[in-house]
Amino acid sequence: MNFPTVSQITTEEFADWLLNPVKPQPFVLDARSQPEYEISHIKTALRIDPVAPGLTALSTESKDTPIIVYCSVGYRSAKVAQQLQRQGFSQIYNLSGGLFQWANEERPIFKDDAHPTQLVHPYDPIWGKMLKTSYHAEN
């Protein structure tokens, strides 16, 4: 399935954005399962259920708040981004390549916001091939 209305952001663009103190920081959503999120995520990311995304976390956010959504490789997050667009959010970006690409590029990932980690949930044996083996968390 294709998501032509969903804007993509590269890992490099996103990393630069996070380091830019002048630019308003985006709201970051992790569209993966709880077990995946507990192993690691991008710092400050809030988990949103990719199957039934509850939007209560965004209820106080302005509709033009920049939002970055990611998952393992980008499919689940694109679906969530599309749903957010339908809710009227205007600055939604899907992280191209997802957390796998982010980790493969040795960008920072965290078990919680204070503890960096090198492990990522490989999702499943097929998709896990897109993640460098050294980052695989044991299932």
Are residues 1 and 86 in contact, defined by beta-carbon separation less than 8 angstroms? Answer: no
Q: What is the pLDDT of residue 100?
A: 97
Are residues 67 and 84 in contact, defined by beta-carbon separation less than 8 angstroms? Answer: yes
pLDDT tens-digit series, residues 41-88: 999 999 998 887 777 778 888 899 999 999 999 999 999 999 999 999
Helix (H) or strand (E) holding 36: helix 34-39
- Give helix then strand counts, H and E, for the chain: 4, 7
Are residues 124 and 139 in contact, defined by beta-carbon separation less than 8 angstroms? Answer: no
Q: What is the mean pLDDT of the chain?
A: 92
Are residues 97 and 11 in contact, defined by beta-carbon separation less than 8 angstroms? Answer: yes
